[in-house]
Structure 1
Amino acid sequence: MQSYWLTNVRLETGAYTDAEGYGHTQTDLFDLKIENGKITEQVNSAQANHDDTLEKIDANGKLAVPAFKEMHNHLDKTYLSLPWRSTKLTDNLKDKLHNEAMELVEISPTTKQRASAMIDLLLSHGATHIRTHVNIDDYIGLKNLEGVLAALEEYKGIVTHEVIAFPQHGLLTGNVPKLMREAMRNGATMVGGLDPAGIDGAIEKSLDLVMDIAAEFDADIDVHIHDHGHVGWYTIDKWIDMIEDAGWKGRCAVSHGFSLGGIPEALQHEAAKRLKSQEVSIMSNTGLARVLPPFDILDSYGVPIHFGFDGFYDSWSSLGSGDLLEKVRNHCIMNRKIDEHSIRKSLKFITKGITPLNDEGKKVWPQNGDAADFVFSDASCSAELIARLPKERTVMVAGKVVIGEL
């Protein structure tokens, strides 16, 4: 199917607030010409007069929104596809890390199977891109990486991905630096780091090594920084300095960054300016800690924010659904995003910034030339989609339906 017309697609076209203060999202039906997986023409369905012989596929008035991006996951850690077991309680982080290491060694023969189950789940909810961290350590070596890459290969052409070499048990221990480099030579696409203070106990040395490995392989970086308080903020502040010095602007992310939510508001504004200056993204699962980054402040300065489910149903948590829309709704609940505009705008946190309407309520998506990657549902608009989480969804990638049906 090289070319066809996708008819009666509901797209958002505008927005307004009525005299009583209620927000409304306007939509209309469009016919989209799909050629080689991309949109090449858009015609209002009521005015369409197709004089070609191309096949027509009817979307039956379903709302289309951009396909979702899962930007923080751990495909190698999940128990999915294995018999049920709940997460084991431990007394401290050291015991938790040891427990995880022993478990992953035990279940390493099933890494591809488990990763595939997670990919299936995420895809079924509308995620067509996955950024995954994969443990690289002295316990597991590159076994998890091999299994995750094998799983992702089977979704080639459907799910795109980024694979981060992740030093879960510390970057400055044992053979981890050597293993990290081997991982980068064997399929990992990004360099990860973890709590230069809380885990490595040497902030500058740990961050320097992360940057050295990234420079060696010309790779982007995503560093977990869970540490709270002054230590966490000092780490992020120092990291921004290093990004600027290395010329890695626009190529780095901080995962979690909880400390940003615990510093004085004036400093939060300064942090937002600094993060924006180096185009550092914040990756969050919106529910891992009591203190979260100040999303509104960061967003107001244009700091890229992306949501993911993190690991779930694994040694860290028994809970999680894999539905990114649930993460957006949780964000709206926690931050009092209850009006039409605020809910609608929040979709961008799972689409890598893409929304059908801009902040002024003008249609900006889709554009001719965009990939025909959609999530379809019976929702009337994206605000209802987020608020009500419809279970029935159809996922299209490059013009082909991969989940559900139209």
Structure 2
Amino acid sequence: MQLTTGAKRFLGLVASVAIVYGAYYAWQHGLIGKHGDTQPAALDVGNNSQSAPATPSTDQGTTQAATQQPTQQPIPASFTPNADTRQQILQNHVVRISVENPSEPIYGETNGTPHGFNYEFAKLLFGQPEFNANGPIRIDTHHEVNAYKDVPRQLLASDNGVPAVDIAMDGLTFPDNTPSGVLYTNPYLDDFGYALIVRKGSPLHSAADLAGKTVGILQGDPDVKAFVTRQLPNTQFVEVNDADDQFITKVIDGHQVDAFIYDYPFAVESIKGSDLKFAQTKLDGSSISYKIGVRANDQNLLVYLNSAIGRVKQTPAYLDLLRKYFRSDQADVIAAGNGEHTYAVKRGDTLNTIAAAQLGAGARYRDIQRRNNLPNPNLILVGEQLIIPVR
């Protein structure tokens, strides 16, 4: 049957409407990109699962692969801005995090897939009731910068008046209002310090051995520079750029420096698999606390983040993360001597309870930590043999 011209036009209009509606439906449901975005990854939901604290020591580190160039994602049309950033996170079911990539083992990507302590901690954090009461929150870390100092600065950037990110996370140690207009939460990672890194077989065992020696430190880190200047006045130091992933290994093995002093949490991955070792995982007088940055006008978000951080740090899941990312088999420990003995860690033990039972005072847990070259008092495993110093 031959259609009239009017009928053809009518059917053409119907087809056009169907195509437009189909495209709109696909766009709304993430089947095609918005503003050039690729299809979003499946929701990575925070959880509150608590695994048993007692597990054998295993090497669970992630091998670093080539990372993609940092890219700033455009704000999708479906995103609803809100002057209250916490409410914005809740209503959009996503938290946009400023990160430095790579900054192993704190954060990294393998073929575009994020990993690292901060990423897994963020899933625990935004799985807390303060944030997930109305549904899971997606962790969006595709807001990357190449330099540490630019991580909090990105909080002050905007896209057509909408802030580019919600929070900043990358082992931040800046004081409040640095940069101007940024505040910081309570620490989400603390009780670590600066590590003393040397060659295997080196005669350097402690800070006392560094007099007259040349020590490498990270270029552009005012905190470690102040620490070395204050604590090691008889030591020469050389600032080293970290553009090369093997920067510590190269300057020590190249005999440019006798030792290197670096944040322990980052040093774990930096020397992994090398011929270097931790002469001391935590130098006396050093203390490192990493915090989350927010905009100064986000006081409401700051309060809720502090509440959630406190709760997460009390969970077995948090301890599992510490042990997964920050245990190292390259810590040097001298064998037990006269008057010392060993103790096998049991399920439910803490350094405090071990010190109370073995040394008569829980406060002496630091003595056990120092004697066993532990970077953090939480990094003990069931079955591990600890050397108990003389009572």
Provide the TM-score with structure 2 as the length reference: 0.30
- Structure with more contact order per residue of length (Cα contacts < 8 Å, sep ≥ 6): 1
Q: Which has the higher strand share?
A: 1
For the pair shown, the structure with the greater C-alpha radius of gyration is 2
